[in-house]
Structure 1
């Protein structure tokens, strides 16, 4: 079987999953339907709690029964989200959508990279994992650029709803491509020589033992996920930041395209950076840049602040390929999706805790002040990692 066709199918899936014109006006659409910043943060918490509850079970299911099944379920729910949003006019409907989004994200978390890594392993090409992840992410951002540029124009002249109809159609195509993926062979956990059915506990214990035996890896992942968690709120609320400092909605598409474009170089060079720098060094520098970017965007709201936010996206682009490769090269096929679910769980935990402070500050003061809070959070992680990194280096 030519499992390498999976890689080409994943390119199509990632592209159409990112070709979502609704994202460029998402917060304005929610705001138009009566959703305040605090309500949005509550939805983000629902999203995070859903993932916290389902990350590990869905990772175990992916390792136990197959990664493709989880990807198909996740893709179907993503398509359903946009259909429901067309009829959302109150908090509880939006809450239902983010609940489904949480299930979808949990199903996909770990499964895609696990399927990709084991696909490459069939032909002994796993060393190209970071390069392909970077290429997939770059294609993801390219699709987002097209969606942003078209989405802002569509929203201005045809209203917000059309963007959601087109987004549902794009998700339908991604769902169809997900259905035709091939499941690569992977090892399964065995309890004894009779290959009795393995329970959830064995997968959970094996994943815990994996991280317990690799404390260095756990430290790196935790600090890298702090970057991802804070950038996630930047992804969610840059529209309100631009609106707060007086930018027109017609500029939103261009800015969305710029931040997607800014992430591409980091993803493409990540595979090469790991050949010249330690993973700890890369994460430390990105933490520092992220902290400075958030702080300066709050201190100098306007064009300089916008430039600093773009710089944050530029630096953060290297994180996912570097960390995913660091994790999967150290892991094993039996629990590949489960350990990545643990990684995602760490990110969601930081997102949940940081979101409370960000939401309260943004609602009571301003989104600009909320960004300064995110800068403080990343700076604290920078100091903690610098102290640990310096200790390891000495």
Structure 2
């Protein structure tokens, strides 16, 4: 039985609310400071502790998304919200390194259930209403709302930490994430496919998803491109807070100084579909690494607090890329494998961040504060140039999921 259009429209509204709670997190502006000052970690250790987190995603990302493809998006998003709430609470209460590590591992489970599933959920919801062409705009709007929530959390979290303690805003954020799980309970499972739903077995979901990635070069290159953006994300995620502290910004003010970066991300999310419309997909994908390399070079060459403008452009590209890349992949993948294939973007992100983030942390601790920015520029250029040379000729705006559906059918029948 197909859900009513009104139920699907309510999915869209509640999807916005679900993501708002996951991003209205009071730890955003102080988590690096918390790890260094409250838990005694160095910058290298802050980046290294992310390695088990990303390794858990490498191990769990594809199984987690395949479970969503097999048994439904709604149960996976409920479980993800619960895992986020538990992970954040543990993170704030972790008085020992094993507890801190456990919180990161639970966080990995949460992300494995979330990534791929949430974009597939909203794409299938829109497709059930005949509005899948609006995906990039709706998904971009969701990311903009995420950044509004992050701005609010950033502005509130740092002053709250100053008047209470560094752990308090983090534990409170765990309760806020729990509201996302409650919101997911109200979701309606969107329809998948245009005919009767064929419930593929779990092994078939994995097998056919692998065949799609292997046979469709544009999908494969789009997934690999996430690795380029991942290197660009290291700067604002791991080095903006230490950059502010190094330039004399007090803990209570770091949230205020990070707000322009969040606002830039809001514009990136809202402008994604317009940029793609005006430049085309090919122009948009070529522009992103140029901005990332230029931003890292600015940070490496300009030793001023005002060089923070480069963090704005890095974050702009990171957020703008989300609707652009997932739209590109979603349109080329059938519903039965959509969450699994899209989740490969997070797998690639993890595989890139596992070596590159600790490397840049080591450079910051042992060479200079600008060395990681030089490394970031080199890594983005080295990853993007050969990829775009291979991918550029294959980019076409008008592709849809029908070829992937036919191909998947051929795989299933053994043709």
Quick check: 1:9 aligned with 2:14?
Answer: yes
Matched, 1:98 2:104: yes
**Alignment correspondent of 2:398:** none
Q: What SS does structure 2 have at the residue aligned with 1:295?
A: helix
Q: What secondary structure sits across from 1:277 in the alignment?
A: helix
Aligned mates of 1:50, 1:58 — CA distance in 2: 11
Deviation at 1:368, TM superposition (A): 3.0
Counterparts of 2:347 and 2:273, CA distance in 1:
25
1:1-394 counterparts in 2 under 5 A? 1=4, 2-31=7-36, 32-187=38-193, 198-388=200-390
How far apart are the structure 2 equivalents of 1:245 and 1:388?
42
CA distance in 2, matches of 1:110, 1:188: 20
Equivalent residues of 2:93, 2:167 under 8 A apart: no
Cα distance change, pair 354–86 in 1 and its aligned pair in 2 (3 A): closer
Q: Deviations over 1:261-315 (max 9, x none)?
A: 0011121121222223332321221101111111211221223421122122233
Unaligned 5+ segments in structure 1 are none
1:138·1:267 contact (CA, 8 Å) conserved in 2?
A: yes
Aligned partners of 1:220 and 1:283 also within 8 Å: no
Q: Deviations over 1:165-185 (max 9, x none)?
A: 321221121121111111112
Moved more, 202-211 or 379-388: 379-388
Please list every run of at least 4 consecutive aligned residues from structure 1 whose deviation after the TM superposition is greater than 6 angstroms. Answer: 390-393
Provide the TM-score with structure 1 as the length reference: 0.92
SS in 1 for 2:192: coil
Task: Name the residue aligned to 2:404.
Answer: none
User: May I ask how many residue pairs the two structures share in their alignment?
Assistant: 388
Report the Cα offset of residue 188 of structure 1.
Answer: 11
Contact 1:265 1:317 in 2 (8 A): no
In 2 relative to 1, CA 86–346 (structure 1 residues): closer, same or farther, beyond 3 Å?
closer
Unaligned runs of 5+ in 2: 396-415
Q: Distance in 2 between matches of 1:204 and 1:320?
A: 23
> Are 2:218 and 2:394, in contact at CA under 8 Å, matched by a contact in 1?
no
Residues 1:387 and 1:82: Cα distance change in structure 2 (over 3 Å)? closer
Could you tell me how far apart the structure 2 residues matched to 1:80 and 1:257 are? 27
Partners of 1:34 and 1:89 within 8 A in 2: no
- Counterpart CA distance in 1 for 2:82 and 2:330 is 26
Residues 279 and 63 of structure 1, relative CA distance in 2, 3 Å threshold: same
8 Å Cα contact 2:24-2:150 kept in structure 1 = yes
Alignment check: 8 A CA contact 1:63 1:188 kept:
no
Q: Is the 8 A contact 2:247 2:305 kept in 1?
A: no
Partner Cα separation in structure 2 for residue 291 and residue 221 of structure 1: 20
Query: By how many angstroms is 1:151 displaced?
Result: 1.2
Instruction: Report if the CA contact (8 A) 1:48-1:349 is conserved.
Output: yes
Using structure 2 for the length normalisation, give the TM-score: 0.88
Mapped partners of 2:392, 2:211: distance in 1: 27
State how far apart, in whole Å, the 2-side matches of 1:120 and 1:224 are: 24
Aligned to 2:402: none
